[in-house]
Amino acid sequence: MSKINPNYHPVPVVFSQANGSIIWDPEGKKYLDFLSAYSAVNQGHCHPKILKAFQEQAERLTLSSRAFYNDRFPVFAERLTSMFGYEMVLPMNTGAEGVETALKLARKWGYEKKKIPKDKVNPFTLVYLPCFVICTDPSPDIRPVIRTVYSSFLLGARHMQAIIVSCCGCFHGRTLAVISMSCDNEATRGFGPLLPGHVKVDFGDHVALEKVFQEHGDRIAGFLFEPIQGEAGVIIPPEGYLKAVRDLCSKYNILMIADEIQSGLARSGKMLACDWEEVRPDVVILGKALGGGVIPVSAVLADKDVMLCIRPGEHGSTFGGNPLASAVAIASLDVLQEEKLAERSAHLGEELLRQLRKIQEQFPNYIKEVRGRGLFTAVEFDNRTLFPVSAYDICLKMKERGVLAKPTHDTIVRLTPPLCMSPDELQEGSKALQDVLEFDLPNIQKTKPKNSPTTATTCDRCGRNLYTS
């Protein structure tokens, strides 16, 4: 492990084998998976149909690159576009690549179709900054610095006028473009300068969104959002929000871009989380479960009017649309439909919420909120009464009881099991949480050093504390 960069803080358990919703460590101890690799294994670990497709294709052809055609990608493209009702797909590999693709697509559409000006110069840059230089008559030593700053302003003013609006608390990956939208200081500090052209708005607040659209609408190319915010702690927007977003994007001619990488592909109880309000985004980003937990596959869906704004040479991926990934993705989609995993997620999700709310009634001082949609659920704890214990400590004790879950933002435990999980296994997971709160928590509170309480860091971008509990 000393050779591995510690860019994650995992729960200390080693996976050696897996099947369905069960994990075994090298010593043979069994665990129930309540994370599903952040929803990458919705179909369950090592699904036989997906593995069969993988093996058969691996023995024939694995990679062609996009320099040539292969016989599996067209089948995958037809399957995916017909399943979700879009005219075209652009294939990538990871979810972060899918988001980057959608951002580039939106900006290209903004310039070509919406006619956002490419080189409109800010009057401040051309008038006020030079006047400041002249009036202050800086010393010769300072003039080169000011010229450099002025050149940077000018360069920024002449390019990238197309704005992307995103939500506070969002998580779309950790690439430079994506962290430029982030409210997570850990993701942004030390990686500047961040990219320009981003505006933030509160998630779930369509009134605030329209205000942003009114102020910047002629230069906004797209609104990127998660229908359910996953990393923020399974935050579900108010009813009617998605419909309001659709109406506003149509009104102001702005692309509605849904990041369904984690919330889509049956996780929320619908094939897409946007389906809960029967809205059709202009652009949909898919990933994670598209590869069935076997191989990275992501895709961006849109109609021709948007998709054809990107032409040969302007974007691509050596591995995107490769025959191995295409075969696996087709099988992954087949499993979702044939096993009715969206319906299963909706049914089991209701049962899981019922169990968790019963636990909340038993421990109202500890549990602040239980929320979820389908098998996309979370338990949020009250930091004041939980102190000095964290959600990570809760997950460690759940692990000891044979259930694997992962915290987010110190006070939230996500519970997102594979959609194939049995009702008995679901009950076993809930019981583990209940036992931790009843038997383990009092002991941890007594023995854990009572250092200063962990407080959520104030966001560098907006100055607010987004994750208070």
State yes or no: is 171 an active-site residue: yes
State yes or no: is 49 an active-site residue: no
State yes or no: is 259 an active-site residue: yes
34, 54, 171, 213: which one is catalytic? 171
Enter the tokens of residue 62.
């694995």
List all residues 6 or more positions away from 269 whose beta carbon is below 8 Å from its beta carbon.
276, 342, 343, 345, 346, 349, 373, 374, 375, 376
Kindly report the backbone phi and psi dihedral angles of residue 85, in degrees, each rounded to the nearest multiple of 5, phi listed first: 75, 40
Q: How far is CA 363 from CA 33, 370, 441, in A?
A: 24, 12, 11
CA distance 31 to 38: 16
CA distance 289 to 41: 5
Kindly report the backbone phi and psi dihedral angles of residue 108, in degrees, each rounded to the nearest multiple of 5, phi listed first: -65, -45
Q: How far is CA 54 from CA 226, 245, 292, 293, 350, in A?
A: 30, 39, 10, 11, 33
- Sheet with 17-19, strands from edge to edge, namely 17-19, 22-24, 30-33, 403-404
288, 368, 397, 406: which one is catalytic? 288
Our CA angle for 268, 459, 227, nearest 5°, is: 15
3-state secondary structure of 183: coil
33, 184, 259, 440: which one is catalytic? 259
Enter the tokens of residue 144.
């080169």
Q: Residues with catalytic annotation? A: 171, 259, 288
